[in-house]
Amino acid sequence: MNAEPLAFRMRPSNIDEIVGQKEIIGKHTSLYKMINNGYVPSMLLYGEPGIGKTSIAYAIAGTTNIPFIALNATTSGKKDVEAVVDETRLTGKVILFLDEIHRFNKAQQDYLLPHVENGAIVLIGATTENPFHDVNPAIRSRCGQIKQLTRLTENDLQELLRRAIQDEKKGLGKLSIEITDEQIKKIASGAGGDARKSLTLLESIVYSSNKENDTYLVHDDIISDLIGKIGVYGDKKGSNFYNLLSSLQKSIRGSDVDAALYYLAHLLEIGDLVAVNRRLLVIAFEDIGLANTAIGTNVLSAVTASERLGLPEARIPLSVAVIEMCLSSKSNSAYKALDQAISDIREGKVGDIPKHLRDGHYAGSKVLGHVGYKYPHDTPIGTFGGWIKQDYLPSNLKGTKYYHPIEAGEEKRLAAIYKKLEDFKKK
C-alpha cells in the first residue's frame, strides 16, 4: 500500500491532465495558451476546497521549466517568503504557490509586492475566501488573472475516478478491483463536486472492501456508509456561507421552492441557526412586504419556534416559512420607498417641518406659531376612518413621491386606497 494518499498521488503532472475547469484552463483558453508558450502570469485561484486550485498550480509547474515552491499561509511566515526571495537570486525566477493566501496578514502580503512586481516571483495564490474581501488590493492588482473555480461535475469526477482505478503508476491500477459503473457514479455523486473527496472516498471504499482471490469486491453498503455528509461545505464566517444565504434569499424572491429548500438544507447542515433566522425575517419584509402583511408575523412565529426547538427539529417550522414565502405574492415597494427618502436626506434634500406638525404640548408653542394642526379623526371618510387635507412634507418637498405601489396580493387593496387619497388631495 502506498504511504501517500491517492488524492495526492493523482495530482496532474501537466495542464493536459487537469480534469474539469475547462472554462478556466481548457485548451481554448488564453491561460492554457500562455502556459504552453512558457509564460506564467501571477494569478489568484478562488473556490471551494477540492475543486482543483492546488492541482492547477502543480500542473502549471509541471508544464514549465520554472522552479516551483509551494507554501501554505497557515503554517508559513515571513522567513519562508524570504527563503523564496533568496531562491530567486539563484534562479532568476520562481513560481510561488501560496495556498490559503488570505491567511497572510497585510504585512506578510505586502512583503511579496516588490518581488511579484519585478517578476522575480510568479505568484499563484489560492483561497477559499472571496479575494475581493480577503486579499489585499495591492496583491490583487499585481495578479493579471483572478479565476473563480467551480465544483467539478459528476462526469468530471467519474473520469477522475476511472483514471485513478486504471493508473498503475499513481493510482490503484496494480490492484484487482471489482467495481461497477453505477458504483463509480454513486461515489462521484456523493463527493459533491470535490475531486479530493472523491479520490479519498474511492481509496477508503476499496480498502474497506472484502478480498477474494486478491480482488477487492466493492459493495453498495460500504459506499453508503462512507459517503455520509460529504457534500456539506462552508463555515459560519466563510464566503461560501454568505453565498448560501444570498442564494436562499434570491431563490425565495424568485419563487423557486425547490432551490430555496436546497439552500436552507445546506445552511442548516452547517448549523448557524441564528444567521438563517435573521435572514428569513429580513426576507419577509424586504421581498414579500406589503403584498402579504401577515407573512412577517408568520415568519417570526416560525423563527421563535426554531429557536426554542433547536436543530434538528428547527428545520420543521423553517421549512413551512420558506415554502410560504416562496409562494406568496411579492413586493419591495415599502423599503424601496424608505431607501429613496433616506437617499434624499443624505443628499441634503431637507426642509423646515411645517409649523402645524411641530410639538405643541408645552407653554409657549403658540408663541412660536406651532398651531393650525387639523385632527384627521374629527373628519370621518367612508369606512377608511378619518382624513383631512393638509400639508405634511416641508414646503420645498411638496409633491415628492417616494411610495410607488405594486399591485400584488394584499398591496393591490392598499394601492387602491393610496390612489383614492391622492385623488382627494387634488380636489
Tell me the domain boundaries of the chain: 21-148, 154-227, 239-327, 345-426
Mean pLDDT of 363-386: 89
Q: For residues 47-85, b (16+ Cβ closer than 10 Å) or e, as one string?
A: bbebbbbbbbbbbbbebbebbbbbbebeebeeebbeebb
Range 94-118 average pLDDT: 87
- pLDDT score of 231: 55
- What are the DSSP E strand ranges found in 265-401? 380-381, 385-386
pLDDT at 334: 95
In this predicted structure, what is the pLDDT of residue 150? 86
- Which numeric CATH code is attached to 239-327? 1.20.272.10
The secondary structure of residue 403, as a DSSP letter, is -
- Given a cut of 60, is residue 329 above it in pLDDT? yes
Instruction: Give me the pLDDT at residue 234, please.
Output: 53
pTM of the model: 0.64
Residues sharing a CB contact under 8 Å with residue 361, sequence separation 6 or more, in sequence order = none
Give backbone dihedrals phi and psi of 65, rounded to 5 degrees, phi first: -105, 15
Closest CA to 327 of 205, 244, 396, 409: 409
Other CB atoms within a 10 A radius of the CB of residue 355 amount to: 14
Sequence-separated (6 or more) residues with CB below 8 Å from residue 271: 236, 311
**CATH fold of the domain at 345-426:** post-AAA+ oligomerization domain-like (1.10.3710)
Does 4 or 178 have the greater pLDDT score? 178
pLDDT tens digits for range 36-55: 998 999 999 998 888 889 99
CA distance 240 to 267: 10
Q: Computed from CA positions of residues 260, 266, 269, 274, in that sequence, does the dihedral angle turn out positive or negative?
A: negative
pLDDT of residue 145: 85
Query: What is the percent of the chain with per-residue pLDDT over 70, rounded to a whole number?
Result: 96
Select from 368, 404, 376 the least CA-distant residue to 392: 376
What CATH homologous superfamily does 21-148 map to? P-loop containing nucleotide triphosphate hydrolases (3.40.50.300)
Cell of 331: 413586493
Looking at residue 232, its pLDDT comes to 56
pLDDT single digits (tens) 202-243: 999 999 999 998 999 999 988 988 886 555 555 555 667 888
Instruction: Output 339 or 86, whichever has higher pLDDT.
Output: 339
The answer to whether 96 and 121 are in contact (CB under 8 A) is: yes
* Residue 360: predicted pLDDT: 87
CATH fold for domain 154-227 = Helicase, Ruva Protein; domain 3 (1.10.8)
Q: Considering only CA atoms, which of 46, 39, 99 is closest in space to residue 69?
A: 99
178-186 mean pLDDT:
94
Secondary-structure breakdown of the chain: helix, strand, coil percentages, each rounded to the nearest 5: 55, 10, 40
